[in-house]
Structure 1
Amino acid sequence: MIIYADGGSRGNPGIAGSGTVVYAADGRTALRDIVYVVGKRATNNVAEYHGMLRGLEAARDLGARSVEVHMDSKLVVEQMSGRWKIKHPDMQKLAMEARRLMDNFESVTFTWVPRGRNEVADALSNQAMDAAAKGHEPGIVGGTSVPESAPSSEAPDEHRGADDCEIVATTQSTSGTPAHWTGATTPPTRFVLLRHGQTEMSAAKQYSGLSDPVLTDIGAGQAAAAAQMLASRGGIDAIVTSPLTRCVQTARAAAEVLGLEVEIIDGLIEQDFGEWEGRTFDEAHAMSPHLHEEWLSNPTITPPGGESLQQLHNRVRAVRRDLEQRYRCRTVLVVSHVTPIKSFIRQALDAGPHVVSRMFLDLASLSVVEFFGEEARVGSTLRVFNDTAHLR
């Protein structure tokens, strides 16, 4: 389907409204037009975002599989295409909402058009502003073929229940996602795994388990870059983090741009390296060559005074299961350390401990794993591993 959308405000900020037309693939057959009151004090750009959102909602309800969005707003087109950063908090939230809606389609493209080619949507947005001036509350106030109950633009409840997962599954496209071969009938619970940014200990290549160094300036920049990338993609529903400062700093950088709170979970803390803490690989090996060598290949071996890989895996698995229950069918940003993140990935791969030593995770890297419902033939997948494109 093809969407033409526009929005405007009289005063900027002022009374604002949006207009949207959804066409069939031929670009001529109008399937729905929407007149939407944004509010009495909103900016032109916010109104334009609402026009786009109403179009995506309508296309979803009409069963579209792919969508072309045409707008005369260069800002919205470039931001939603990922080429411009989204700095305004109001638009960040609207962009996140749009990303959630985009998950319902196989593909969504955004194209800028001159105002003269967007006259119908522009006229509808003026109708919406007229309605706002007359005192209409925010919401759909006109158009054709509008459903009796328009989809809400409010953010979803913090914890979606199982029944809501089933509802989402009836509209969510499965083509191009693992669902078409896993046999899943509900959306997965997705974990976006973010390693913390650089510290002085990581720069020195020291074992850094329960030590609590802060981020360096480089590390803070890495955290900010990861946060901006996450904001441009949207779709994060919750943020959890290890209690150690380097992770909390990284998590808060993301929370600031995503508009979310940060939950600290002790079980996401790094492995306790015991007497090897603060040592480099070579220094730890020199301290106890046989034990260090055995520790690298045996997950049950414990560093002197520390914690074994299997002990860590057991506690991280308990955290993952709790989060999966609490945030079923949602997306959770998990900010942690190398070994807990490797444990999440190991669980997604349903693999033995041997895979841990065969993974390398860069500072501030992103990985994504998904866990499906019990009905799925394949219970989990690894979608992204060690992505550092945002740091280049």
Structure 2
Amino acid sequence: MRHGVTAHTVEKRFSGGLASANPGLSDEGRDQARAVGSWLAPLAEAVDAVISSPVRRTQETAEIVAELLGRPVQVEPGFAEMEFGAWDGMTFTEVAEQHPEELDAWLGSLDVAPRGGESFRVVEGRVLDGLQRLLDEHGGKTVVVVSHVTPIKTLVAHAVDAPLSAVFRMELSPASVTVLSFFRGGKDGTEQRASLRMYNALPPGNDVFAAGARW
């Protein structure tokens, strides 16, 4: 699950991990989290754990969802958002105007990081490390992970065996739900495999998502 909206989400500002301004949820974001929690509540008995990135907006979202599911919140640092460094809190247009060469380099290479931030490759490494820790602890179980745009897209690309550059071709709405399944397969049953079951889903018939789905 992606976290609910913050003021930065609404204003389309770069909003990174713990080194960022670390904004909390807005009232709308809390309403979104409650809507998803209520949507998932009938499945509560099947949920083994609620996992959150350590960032404020994800922890606030996870706490709301976890209360509705009757589960405690565990923290996985690997699922934190990309650090955007000097760009944090700026809009894309502001970065394009003030740091055009840096932005072009970042868009042109998965190995280039914003000044003081992280590259997509660096984020991929820690996200996949976090995934392995999750599988080691909760293998064979269903967990709800509350994370961010970049880590979720990275997990999807990994699951469908797409190149990491596929993250540029995905849209992900606030408080949306994506379902991934990880399992063992192959001839000897030891090969780790994955499948995408659902992507960017929102609770049906919930008006609180009407505007958020556009961001």
TM-score by length of 2: 0.88
Q: Of 253, 257, 268, which aligns to 2:64? A: 253
**Counterparts of residues 102-121 of structure 1 (less than 5 Å):** none
Are the counterparts in 2 of residues 200 and 216 from structure 1 also a CA contact under 8 Å? yes
Please give the secondary structure, in 1, of the residue aligned with 2:78.
Answer: helix
Q: Distance in 1 between matches of 2:168 and 2:82?
A: 14
Alignment partner, residue 117 of structure 2: 306
Q: Contact (CA 8 Å) 1:238, 1:260: kept in 2 or not?
A: yes
Report if the CA contact (8 A) 1:200-1:215 is conserved. Answer: yes
Cα contact 2:127–2:155 (8 A) shared by 1: yes
The code of the aligned residue for 2:21 comes to S
Q: Deviations over 1:27-67 (max 9, x none)?
A: xxxxxxxxxxxxxxxxxxxxxxxxxxxxxxxxxxxxxxxxx
1:220 corresponds, among 8, 11, 30, to 30
Query: Would the aligned equivalents of 1:367 and 1:386 in 2 still touch at CA under 8 Å?
Result: yes
Q: Does 1:320 align with 2:134?
A: no
1:293-312 superposed Cα distances (whole Å, 9 cap, x missing partner): 23123110110111101000
User: Does structure 1 residue 387 correspond to structure 2 residue 198?
Assistant: no
Counterpart-to-counterpart distance in 2, 1:295 and 1:304: 10
- The 5-angstrom pairing of residues 216-365 of structure 1 reads 216-234=26-44, 235-365=46-176
SS of 1:386's equivalent in the other structure is strand
Deviation at 1:290, TM superposition (A): 2.5
1:297/1:354 contact within 8 Å kept: no
* Residue deviations 1:152-186 (CA, integer Å, cap 9, x gap): xxxxxxxxxxxxxxxxxxxxxxxxxxxxxxxxxxx
Structure (1 or 2) with the greater strand fraction:
1
Summarize the Cα distance change of 1:380–1:311 in structure 2 as closer, same or farther, 3 Å threshold: same
Q: How far 1:271 moved relative to its partner? A: 0.5
Counterparts of 1:207 and 1:332, CA distance in 2: 28
Alignment of 1:122-161 (within 5 A): none
Deviation at 1:233, TM superposition (A): 3.1
Matching residue's letter, 2:14: Y
Output the CA distance in 2 between the equivalents of 1:296 and 1:353.
13
Percent sequence identity over matched residues?
A: 37
Cα distance in 2 for partners of 1:230, 1:315 equals 28
Task: Quote how far apart the aligned CAs of 1:276 are.
Answer: 0.5
SS in 2 for 1:384: strand
Partner SS, residue 368 of structure 1? strand
Deviation at 1:254, TM superposition (A): 1.1
1:232 is displaced (CA, Å) by 2.2
For structure 2, the residue ranges without an aligned partner over 5 or more in a row are 208-215
Specify every segment of 5 or more residues in structure 1 that has no aligned partner in the other structure, as ranges: 1-193
- Corresponding letter in the other structure for 2:153: K
Equivalent residue, structure 2, for 1:203: 10
Q: Does structure 1 conserve the Cα–Cα contact (< 8 Å) formed by 2:5 and 2:29?
A: yes
- For residues 242 and 279 of structure 1, the distance between their equivalents in structure 2, rounded to whole angstroms, comes to 22
Maintained 8 Å contact 2:36/2:65: yes
Contact 2:184 2:192 in 1 (8 A): no
Q: Which has the higher helix share?
A: 2
Return the index of the structure with the highest Cα Rg.
Answer: 1
Cα contact 2:54–2:75 (8 A) shared by 1: yes
4+ residue segments displaced more than 4 Å: none
Matches within 5 A, 1:168-183: none
Residue 376 of structure 1 deviates from its aligned partner by 7.2
Query: Contact (CA 8 Å) 2:184, 2:191: kept in 1 or not?
Result: no
Tell me how far apart the structure 1 counterparts of residues 110 and 143 of structure 2 sit (CA, whole Å): 27
TM-score of the two chains, using structure 1 as the length reference: 0.49
CA distance in 2 between counterparts of 1:337 and 1:268 reads: 7
Aligned length: 199
Q: Distance in 2 between matches of 1:197 and 1:380?
A: 26
Q: C-alpha separation between the residues in 1 aligned to 2:108 and 2:38?
A: 38
